[in-house]
A and B are shown apart, each in its own frame.
Chain A
Amino acid sequence: MKWRNVAIVAAIILPLLVLLAVSFRFDPRAVPSVLAGRPAPACDLRTLEGEATSLAALRGKPVVLNFWSTWCVPCVAEHALLQQAARSWGSRVQFVGVVYQDEPEAARTYLARHGSAYLQVLDDGSRCAIDFGVAGVPETFFIDAAGVVTHKQVGPVDAGLLRRHLAPLGAGGPP
C-alpha cells in the first residue's frame, strides 16, 4: 500500500520535473526566427552620408547584415571582429552594418573612433529592423547571393560562426 502511494506521487511529480527541466532550456525572451529560408526584405536604407540604398541593390553576393548601436556593449567587440572579417573576405562578401535605434551623429562619431571598414546604413523609423523581426542588438542575418536569409544570429558573432555560415554561401574561407 505504501509503495503504491509512492508510485502515484512519483507518477505525478516526475512528468512535472521533466517539463520543468525541458522548459528551463528555452530562453523565454528569445524571439524565434521565422525568416530563415525566406527571401530577405528589400529594406530601403540610407548611408551615413545620406545616399539612398537598399538591400535589394546588394544582391549578387552573400551579405552579412549586422544590426548594432552605439549603446550596445557587446557590439564593440563584435564591430572589431566584423571589420577584420570584412577586410579578410574582401569583395566576396558584402558586410552591412545597420544602425539600430540610435542617433546618426552618435553612429558617425562611433565609427570615426572605431573604424568603418564596411558599408554602414541608417534605418529610418526602424522599418528594416521590423521587416527582419529584430528584437535587440546585436543581431546578424546571413543572406545568400540570391537574397534568401540562411541564418539569424542573436547576440554577437564570432570568427568560427562567420566561417560556418559563410562557407555554404559559396564565399569560401577567409584568405
Chain B
Amino acid sequence: MSLTLPLVALCLAQGESQDPALVAERIGSTLRCPVCQGMPIAESPSQMAQDMMKRVREMAAEGKSEAEIVDYFVGRYGEWVQLDPPKQGMNLLLWILPAGALLAGGAALLLLLRRRRPVPPVAPPKVDAELVARIRDEVEP
C-alpha cells in the first residue's frame, strides 16, 4: 500500500501519455466520423474513418501536438468534427440552458408552494347524544 500510492500519484501527475499511438487513439476518440451517426473515427469500421485515423496516426508520429492535429481536422470539417463541442460562443447555450431551466423550474415550484394556502381543518360534525345512545342500543347486544 505504501508503495502503490506514490506510484498512482506519479501516474496521475504524468497525466496523459505522449506515446504517438496513444495520442492518436485519444484524438481519434474525440473526432466525429463524417460518414457515420455520431461515432468517433477511432471506433468506426468505415473506410473513410480508417483513412482519417491513418492521417491522425501519421501526424502524431510526425510529432504534431494534439491541438495541431485537432485544428487540422476542424480547419477542414469545421467544429462539427469534434464530438465534444468547445465551450464557447453559441455552444455555451448547451451548458447554460439546462441549468437555467432547472433554476427557473425550481423557482416556479417554490413560488407555487408558497402561494398555496393551508386548507382549514374540518370540524367533526356535531352528533346528537341521544342518537348515539340509540345506535349503541341497537348495535350492541
Contacts and interface: CB of A to CB of B under 8 A. Distances in A.
B51 interface: yes
Interface string B76-120: 111011000000000000000000000000000000000000000
B55 interface: yes
Given A31-B34, A136-B34, A131 B54 contact: no
Interface string A109-144: 000000000000000011101111111100000000
Nearest to A137: B35
Contact of B76 (A29, A101, A130, A136): A130
B34 A132 contact: no
B76 A132 contact: yes
B52 interface: yes
Given A135-B35, A136-B34, A31 B77 contact: yes
B45 interface: no
Contacts of A31: 34, 77-78, 80-81
Interface residues of B, number: 16
Interface in A23-76: 29, 31-35
B47 interface: yes
A33 B80 CA distance: 10
A148 to B, nearest CB: 15
Contacts of B74: 34
B48 interface: yes
Interface of B: 34-35, 37, 47-48, 51-52, 54-55, 74-78, 80-81
Given A126-B51, A136-B35, 6 more contacts: A29-B37, A31-B80, A32-B80, A34-B78, A125-B54, A133-B76
Interface of A: 29, 31-35, 101, 125-127, 129-136
